[in-house]
A and B are shown apart, each in its own frame.
Chain A
Amino acid sequence: MISFLSNSSTVCFLLRVWRELICVGCLAMFFCGFPVCAEEKQSEILFQDVTAASQLTFQHKSPLTLKRHLHLMMGSGVGWLDFDNDGFPDLYCAQGEEWQTAKNTQRDVGMSNRLYQNQGHSQFQDVTAPAGLIDFGYSMGITVGDYNHDGFDDLYVSQFDRNLLYCNNGDGTFTNTSQSAQADDPGYGASCTWADLNGDGLLDLYVVNYLEIDREQYPICSRKVDGTRVYFVCHPRYVRGEYDVVYRNLGNGTFLDMSKKAGLHSEPARQGLGVFAADFDHDGDMDIYVANDSVANQLWVNDGQGVFTDQALIAGLAFNRSGDREAGMGLAGADYNGDGQIDLFVTNYYGETNTLYRNEGALFFLDVTEETGLAAPSRVRLGFGASFLDFNNDGWEDLFVTNGHVHDRLAQLGKNEPYEQEPQVFLNQGGARFLDVSKSAGTFFQNKQVGRGCAVADFNRDGLADLAVSHLNGKLVLLENRTVAAGQCVSLKLIGTTSNRSGIGARVELTADSRKLTRYRRGSSSYLSVDEGGILSGLGKSQVPVSVKITWPQGKTEIWSGLQPGGRYTLIEGSSDSRDLSQLQQ
């Protein structure tokens, strides 16, 4: 009895305490705001796989062979272009092939590259055949640019065989002008980019070549394990690199191979995969950074006439902070820390880090991977595609990385590295560090895949940057950005007049409130891929009109002011007259 009473009083006391705690909690929530007591509600990064709902049915096909032919493991890129100028970005998917000793001649349309027309309302339609884009080679890199200044996006596609140049006819069709334009380099092409390399206002081409591989004399690598020969993809050290190619646009529909005169043969050929063009030294011309596989990366600095010297060593971009070469695959460039300088992010091999180089100005970069929190999450991944995009429109460029190994038989070879790997998203925390938010960013980030290329576009025009991701021997995935409580943004389409019409290479400085943001019109991105041509810039919570300063590739600088957050604008070179552009909103 005594015991019972004693228990009862204890229970009553606990109930009282519990009630009081609940009251205090309620009051706290009332004053601080539910569910967290924070000054500002945190945005929740979320991406939804909407591939099926969007009628995107692309399946990459690159069946692996018993002898593990190397190029079948490298995958293909993905690119956004607005080929019909309807304001919605369309999607081009590069396709693989089955192993052949000569270029594939089969006529199974399923083995061709595909073009999907964005029909609005998040629906896509396969228009490959009517657009005249059927091809059966192993396609790798994609770059989009209006090389003939007719107002329509043209396509360049690098291949394991001869590269392809597709001229957009402006009527929904393309013409394969590769041969007539003399831009059909036969090397093993990887990433490629359009850029005006000699300052004549025309888009030239830089094509990164990977390895010197001949279908008829194909290098095969193997090892004997417990009496059985196990074949695997050759490490690039066993295969010679191949020189990259520079094509000068002659302005008459043809191109001239300037590779030797441009200085690319001044050093031995390297095993290149990724490329990023920008004016790194602020001297008014486009320089080229190339990520090479297991050899030093190159920074080709332009003398303004299209002649290059490699200055990666002095710029601190050839190696990582330990002085080691890494297995450069994909490349992304953006001003991650808001200092107005373009920084570089290179994806690398399993056991290496994906390396972030902070631009210190004066053509000098520092590897800051460890300090920014990007080292550990990448050591147990093999990175390929990488894109800077502002998930939550807070004005800070976040990072997406798609991963997947190049060896699928590692268990047999006594290694414990997964072939399929989860992709990753990193939230930029005020330009200081990146936070891995993959676990909460959607189910796509819990699935292991063999990722290769990726490209950014706001395909549904909701003001949030979305992603297309290519997978080796897998389905293309379209990720819709459904981030909650995202900030404002402004969308810009640049049209060059004296500069190249696509505005590739333009530097865009946005001023909103007291904040300055720097964005770049890129000619390529990630691994073998290309983002949408427009510039989508997050503005945070700012509601005030934005002013934009554009430095065009030809060097001219113009300022537009009065752009409204949430607006979409087309900015034409030479048209700024200090008018309030809020009247010009589309």
Chain B
Amino acid sequence: MNMNSQSEPDNLIKPFSKPEKGFFFSSGWIVAGAGLVALLIFYLSGRKETDHSQKSEPAVKTQESGEKSDQARRKELIAYLQQHPDDEFAHFQLGELIKARAPFQALENFSHVTPRHPRYYEAVEAVAEIAMEQDLHLQAKPALFELIREYPEESRFQEKLARLLFKAGDSERALKYATRSIELGANQAQNYMLVADILRQAGRTSEMSGPLKQALYLEPELFEAHLNLAYAALYTGDLESAEREARWCLERQPASIISLRYLALINRNQGEMEAAVAQVDQALLIDPQDFESLLLKADLLIFQRKGQQAYDLLKPFYAERQTDRRFLSALARAAGLSGKREEALELQKKNQALIKEDDLKPSSLQSETVEETRFRQRP
């Protein structure tokens, strides 16, 4: 398993996915606990109220009447806009009313609000939010840039743009805005996690530990920060720190496959192959279909010259993984090692065919322009 791989699957902290968290101490669990208590109170009070169910009717009615009034207001605004299609405030109001239910229509309404209108930047912010939620990067980006131009000291817009650019793979610019948002006062652990994520995407894994340590300073029990710190330390060869962090994670979540895999990688990098196999076997006990663990196990077997075993482990996945270059490469190595030379060659050719011209390491420096300077031949 190459830790440089762009397609590194252990993408632990996708900013838009739910992260793994510490069991007892994370803020998420505190919120969840509070929610549970509230639910319990609600349940108990509900039981008391079952005999007096009529008492809750007004609340329902209020909600219903609110919905009705919204609906009525919506109808009114639509009717009004048919008569006054240029009324920007009506468009703004309608956009606000419908943005949750009909985001695309809301976008259309907000787009009618022009810079002359006093609520213009609220409309732009709404556009940015809806566009980000709907993955409309092309609309979200200019909206956020405009907000940053107007409110250059507002950290949340910088952060949002950073997240958007990160999601779009523009890590260089994402890093600039994520860093700026922190300079402007954003001081949540997640702000530093974002910086660490971007650095990883940019192939600057060796720089991740700084922001991760900042995140842990703010939120010492943040599980994904510990897990990423293990990864960063593993990448740079600080196996002691990597092991400490991975073990911390495993203590909190004994079923954390990623932690087990990291421990296997640490063992492997220390030259302790049998211990590495034991760790990865433990991960496979938890989830026998975990592809990354299977790949790592195959890798360990290949190093130990157990080519046939590695081949038998990988081959069943060929049909579903035949466009995964890391898989093809591993299977080719296993095939070659077990004497299946023709198959190894075919697999390597397949891998080669899948390499795209632009498929370069993130650390490679891309040019915007390539000019050919022309000089007169010297006499």
Q: Are A220 and B336 interface neighbours, CB within 8 A? A: no
Q: B96 within 8 Å of A by Cβ? A: no
Say yes or no: is B320 at the interface (Cβ < 8 Å to chain A): no
Closest CB in chain B relative to A355 CB, distance in Å: 10
A322 in the interface (beta carbon within 8 A) = yes
Report if A475 contacts B (CB, 8 A): no
Q: For residue B307, give the distance in angstroms from its CB to the closest CB of chain A.
A: 9
What residues on B are CB-neighbors of A316 within 8 Å? Answer: 332-333, 336, 344, 348
A326, chain B: closest CB distance, angstroms: 8
B207 to chain A, nearest CB (A): 6
* From A102, A350, A433, contact of B377 by CB (8 A): A102
Name the B residues within 8 Å of A379 (CB-CB).
3-4, 205-206, 235-236
Give the contacts of A495-517 with B (CB-CB under 8 A).
Answer: none
Cβ < 8 Å to B, chain A residues 207-265: 215-224, 232, 234-235, 237-238
Q: Which of B299, B341, B362, B365 contacts A321 (CB 8 A)?
A: B299
- Chain A residues positioned under 8 Å from B326 (CB to CB): 322-323
Question: A191 interface residue, CB < 8 Å from B?
Answer: no
Judged by a CB distance under 8 angstroms, whether B378 is at the interface is yes
Kindly state the separation between the CA atoms of A494 and B378 in the bound complex, as whole angstroms. Answer: 48
> Residue B349 at the A interface, CB < 8 A?
yes
Residues of B within 8 A of A413 (CB): 365
Contacts of B333 in A (CB 8 A): 316, 321, 366-367
Q: How many residues of A contact B (CB 8 A)?
A: 60
Question: A433 to B336, Cβ gap below 8 A?
Answer: no
Q: Which residue of B lies closest to A323 (CB)?
A: B329
CA distance A425 to B122 in the complex (A): 60
Residues of B within 8 A of A353 (CB): 2, 4
Instruction: Confirm or deny: B56 has a beta carbon within 8 angstroms of a beta carbon on chain A.
Output: no
B294 to chain A, nearest CB (A): 15
User: Bound state CA distance, A379 and B326, in angstroms?
Assistant: 19
Asked whether any CB of chain B lies closer than 8 Å to the CB of A549, the reply is no
Residues from chain B with a CB closer than 8 A to the CB of A130 are none
- Residues facing A in B342-379 (CB within 8 A) are 344-345, 348-349, 351-352, 355, 357, 360-378
Using CB atoms, name the residue of chain B closest to A223: B368
Binds B, one of A369-377, A554-562, A564-572: A369-377
A-B contact pairs, 17 of them (CB 8 A): A218-B373, A220-B370, A220-B373, A221-B369, A222-B371, A316-B332, A319-B351, A321-B1, A322-B4, A323-B332, A323-B355, A352-B363, A360-B337, A367-B333, A370-B265, A370-B269, A415-B204
Cα distance, A375 to B336, chains bound together (Å): 23
Cα A223 to Cα B364 with chains together (Å) = 13
How far is B364's CA from A451's CA once the two chains are assembled, in angstroms?
A: 19
Is A376 in contact with B363, judged by CB distance below 8 angstroms?
no
Task: Check if B4 sits within 8 Å of A351, measured CB to CB.
Answer: yes
Residue of A nearest to B373 (CB): A218
B299 neighbours in A (Cβ, 8 Å): 321
| Chain B positions within 8 Å of A439 at CB level | none
Residue B85 at the chain A interface, CB threshold 8 Å: no
B73 contacts chain A at the CB level, 8 A cutoff: no
Determine the distance from Cα of A102 to Cα of B376 in the docked complex, in whole angstroms: 10
Judge if A67 is at the interface, Cβ distance under 8 Å: yes
- From 265 to 307 in chain A, residues with beta carbon under 8 angstroms from any chain B beta carbon are 294, 296
Residue among B325, B352, B365 with max Cβ neighbours from chain A (10 Å)? B365
Inter-subunit contact A350/B363 (CB<8 Å): yes
Q: Which residues on A sit within 8 Å (CB–CB) of B352?
A: 296, 313, 318-319
Shortest beta-carbon distance from B249 to chain A in Å? 20
Q: Which residue of B lies closest to A218 (CB)?
A: B373
A352 and B361 contact, Cβ closer than 8 Å, known pairs A316-B333, A375-B269, A380-B206:
yes
Bound complex: CA A316 to CA B363 (Å): 24
* A316-B336, A366-B333, A366-B337 known; A351-B373 Cβ under 8 A: no
B288 nearest CB across to chain A (Å): 24
B271 touching A433, Cβ below 8 Å: yes
Residue ranges of A at the interface with B (Cβ–Cβ < 8 Å): 67, 101-102, 215-224, 232, 234-235, 237-238, 294, 296, 313-314, 316, 318-325, 349-353, 360, 364, 366-368, 370-373, 375-377, 379-380, 407, 410, 413-417, 432-433, 436
Q: A216-B377, A223-B366, A316-B344 are in contact. List 14 more A-B contacts (CB 8 A).
A: A216-B376, A218-B373, A221-B370, A237-B360, A321-B333, A322-B329, A323-B326, A323-B351, A349-B364, A351-B361, A351-B363, A371-B268, A371-B273, A375-B237
| B348 close to A318 (CB less than 8 A) | yes
Is residue B305 contacting chain A, with contact meaning CB distance below 8 A?
A: yes
Q: Is the Cβ of B269 less than 8 Å from the Cβ of A216?
A: no
Residue of A nearest to B369 (CB): A222
B268, A238: Cβ atoms under 8 Å?
no
List the B residue with the shortest CB-CB distance to A217.
B372
Q: Does B23 contact A (CB under 8 A)?
A: no
**CB closest residue in chain B, given A322:** B2
Inter-subunit contact B302/A366 (CB<8 Å): yes
Given contacts A101-B375, A220-B373, A371-B303, whether A313 and B348 have CB atoms under 8 Å apart is: yes
- The CA of A294 and the CA of B332, in the complex, are separated in Å by 21
Contact of A376 among B175, B235, B357, B378 (CB under 8 A): B235
Chain B residues near A221 (CB-CB < 8 A): 367, 369-370
Indicate if the CB atoms of B374 and A407 lie closer than 8 Å: no
Q: From B206, B236, B273, B365, give the contact of A232 (CB < 8 A).
A: B365
Whole-angstrom distance between the alpha carbons of A578 and B332 in the complex?
A: 46
A479 to chain B minimum Cβ distance, whole angstroms, is: 24
Residues of B near A407 (CB, < 8 A) are 365
Identify the closest chain A residue to B350 (Cβ): A323
Write out the residue numbers on chain A whose beta carbons fall within 8 Å of the beta carbon of B303. Answer: 366, 368, 371
Best-buried of A215, A324, A368, A436 by chain B (most CB within 10 Å) = A324
B203 touches which of A101, A351, A376 (Cβ 8 Å): A351
B269:A294 contact, CB within 8 angstroms: no
Kindly state the separation between the CA atoms of A286 and B351 in the bound complex, as whole angstroms. Answer: 28
B281 touches A (CB below 8 Å):
no
Which of chain B's residues have a CB closer than 8 A to the CB of A373?
Answer: 237, 269, 271
CA distance A376 to B351 in the complex (A): 25
* Bound CA–CA A321/B327 (angstroms): 10
By the criterion CB–CB under 8 Å, are B336 and A222 in contact? no
Which chain B positions have C-beta within 8 A of A380?
206, 236
CB contact under 8 A between A376 and B237, given known A218-B372, A218-B373, A351-B203: yes
Residues of A within 8 A of B345 (CB): 313-314
Do residues B355 and A238 form an inter-chain contact, with CB atoms below 8 A? Answer: no
A417–B363 CB distance below 8 A: yes
B260: Cβ under 8 A from any A Cβ: no
In the assembly, what is the distance between CA of A325 and CA of B353, in Å? 12
**Complex A-B, nearest 5 residue pairs according to Cβ-Cβ distance, in ascending order:** A376-B237, A323-B329, A221-B367, A351-B363, A322-B2
CB nearest to A238 among chain B residues: B370
Docked Cα-Cα span, A220 to B345, in Å, equals 38
Are A376 and B236 in touch, CB under 8 angstroms?
Answer: yes
Interface residue? B176 (CB, 8 A): yes
> A352, B204: Cβ atoms under 8 Å?
no
Among B326, B332, B364, the most chain A Cβ lie within 10 Å of the Cβ of B364
Contacts of B5 in A (CB 8 A): 322, 324
- With A366-B303, A376-B237 known to touch, is A432 a contact of B271 (CB < 8 Å)? yes
**Minimal beta-carbon separation of A10 from chain B (angstroms):** 36
Contacts of B361 in A (CB 8 A): 324, 349, 351-352
B374 touches A217 (CB 8 A): yes
A236 → B minimal CB distance (Å): 10
**Contact indicator B372/A220 (Cβ below 8 Å):** yes
Q: How near does chain A come to B14, taking the closest CB pair, in angstroms?
A: 21
How far, in angstroms, from A219 to B265 measured CA to CA in the complex? 42
Give min CB distance, A149 to chain B, whole Å. 39
In this complex, what residue of A is CB-closest to B265?
A370
Min CB distance A166 to B, Å, is 26
Residue B219 at the A interface, CB < 8 A? no
- Using CB atoms, name the residue of chain A closest to B363: A351
Task: Verify A322–B372 contact, CB threshold 8 A.
Answer: no
Q: Is B172 an interface residue (CB 8 A)?
A: yes
Residue contact A414 to B368, C-beta cutoff 8 Å? no
Asked if B147 is at the interface (CB within 8 A of a chain A CB), the reply is no
Bound-state CA distance A417–B202 (Å) is 12
